[in-house]
Homo-oligomer: A and B are copies of this chain.
Amino acid sequence: MHKTKVAIVGMGTVGSGVARLLLDHGDRTARHAGRTLWLQKAVVRDLRKPRQCELPPGILTDRLEDVLEDEDIEVVALLMGGLEPARTVMLNLLDAGKDVVTANKALLAEHGAELFDRARLLGRCIAFEAAVAGGIPIISNISQCFSANQITSLQGILNGTSNFIVSQMDDQGWDYAHALKEAQRLGYAEEDPTMDVDGTDAAQKLAILAHLAFGARIRWQDIPRQGIDQLDIQDIHFAGELGYRIKLIAQARLGAHGLELSVSPTLIRSGRPLAEVRRNYNAINVVGDAVGDIFFHGQGAGQMPTASAVVADMIDTAVGRTPITFRTLELWSNRESPVSIRPDEDMPSRYYLRLTVADEPGSLAKITSVLGEHCISISSVIQHEPDPLSNSPQVQLVIMTHEAPEGAARRAVEKITQLPVVTGPSVRMRVMKDVKV
């Protein structure tokens, strides 16, 4: 049987998982690829560090040159995190004539144009299924399976750490700090969780998906984003009372006025598939004009789900499917962006507002008249009776609005927050448009 020699650069969690699939399950790849993927080298920084995976002698090395200079190695899984030296290593691999598979979404979101241009110039290819949503094959589904469609919307839970935290807040009634600590204890959140909980990770993934689905040339930094790190347990309770759950939603929607992009904590009606995604799972709802809506749910991270996506890419590259896809799709090319990005300011959404209000006559009238001035109409209101045993002079007022442009909603809430009857900070979150099923 034909052998394709492959290498791994970076033997952390995912790299070890990939090595395990290649070494322990060579029969599978042989069955699905019609050839063996033969692990020739695994490059690490420090040879003495203990490994999660035993390698046969002669494979482990700390010299990248052992891969670059070995002409028999055709496909390399680049599984280092961060931007450098990952970027330089990928350029070196491409220059050395290797096809590259990667799971590093930050690298693609930041340097995609440079890396893909280099690969095209050299007649090489880059595969990156594992970079978005781990085990869910969303890259391949969007770039191949839905190719007869104009995709009109993508809505996803793309960050498992955030979803774990908000699910635990919802299910257990914990506050953010407690849920984060639990996520860290279980290994779902890193010691410094910033990139996950502030929406950066989800925005980088959304930029990649928007690129594939809409051809949008967008910098992830330009996607309006908000994370879950400010989420208050009170809002989860109020959302529940209204029949909603809060999730960190990354969304791209093609409208008459351009592509609307956002990452934000969003209220979704309970029972809708995205609302019911629990723990560290990811999920994506894709709408295409021919196929209708397709929903995917699965593990978005973790050693073996991610390794599964990496090895599938290595197989696709070895048998020649990825090179075809890479050529035909012209990813991150200089081709003009076929869609314009709608300014955040104009994007319409329903909103959830929570205001801390003085418990005195006329408060509600003052607030609702500001909304009226900004042409924002109200869909529902909750204000509970003040606790008779408490002497607090303030109450929580929750307002659900009908659809309004982001800019108008922002300005209205700014103005409301300055009213003397509003005595604390205001909370504003998007509400996902509900669809008839």
A-side interface residues toward B, CB under 8 Å? 17, 21, 25, 28-29, 31-35, 129, 135-137, 140-141, 143-150, 215, 271, 273, 276, 278-279, 288-299, 302, 304-305, 307-312, 315-316, 319-321, 324-325, 327-330, 437
Contact = CB atoms under 8 A, between A and B. Distances in A.
Given A297-B295, A328-B33, A147 B28 contact: yes
Contact of A316 (B31, B136, B144, B330): B144
A26 to B, nearest CB: 11
Given A329-B32, A437-B278, A437-B279, A146 B312 contact: yes
27 contacts: A25-B150, A28-B148, A29-B147, A32-B328, A32-B329, A137-B141, A137-B144, A140-B144, A141-B145, A144-B316, A145-B312, A147-B311, A147-B315, A148-B310, A148-B312, A149-B308, A271-B276, A291-B304, A292-B299, A292-B304, A293-B298, A293-B299, A294-B299, A295-B295, A319-B328, A321-B321, A321-B324
Listed residue (A144, A145, A278, A307) with the most chain B CB atoms within 10 angstroms of its CB: A145
Number of copies of this kind of chain in the complex? 2
Contact of A290 (B21, B143, B215, B279): B21
Given A137-B145, A140-B144, A293-B299, 15 more contacts: A25-B148, A28-B148, A32-B148, A140-B141, A144-B315, A147-B315, A148-B308, A148-B312, A291-B299, A291-B308, A293-B298, A296-B296, A297-B297, A320-B324, A321-B325
Contacts of A311: 147-148, 290
A307 B148 contact: yes
A291 B320 CA distance: 23
Given A292-B135, A296-B295, A325-B321, A28 B307 contact: no
Contact of A294 (B35, B136, B145): B136
Contacts of A278: 437
A291 B304 CA distance: 6
A316 to B, nearest CB: 6
A437 to B, nearest CB: 6
Contacts of A28: 147-150
A325 B322 CA distance: 12
Contacts of A298: 291-295
Nearest to A140: B145
Contacts of A149: 28, 308
A271 B302 CA distance: 25
Contacts of A140: 140-141, 144-145
A325 B292 CA distance: 26
A33 B144 CA distance: 9
Nearest to A22: B148
B288 A308 contact: yes
Contacts of A29: 147-148
A390 to B, nearest CB: 36
Listed residue (A17, A135, A136, A302) with the most chain B CB atoms within 10 angstroms of its CB: A135
A257 to B, nearest CB: 21
B279 A147 contact: no
B34 A135 contact: no
A304 B290 CA distance: 5
A311 B289 CA distance: 13
A315 B148 CA distance: 8
A138 B295 CA distance: 12
B292 A305 contact: yes
Contacts of A148: 21, 25, 28-29, 32, 307-308, 310-312, 315
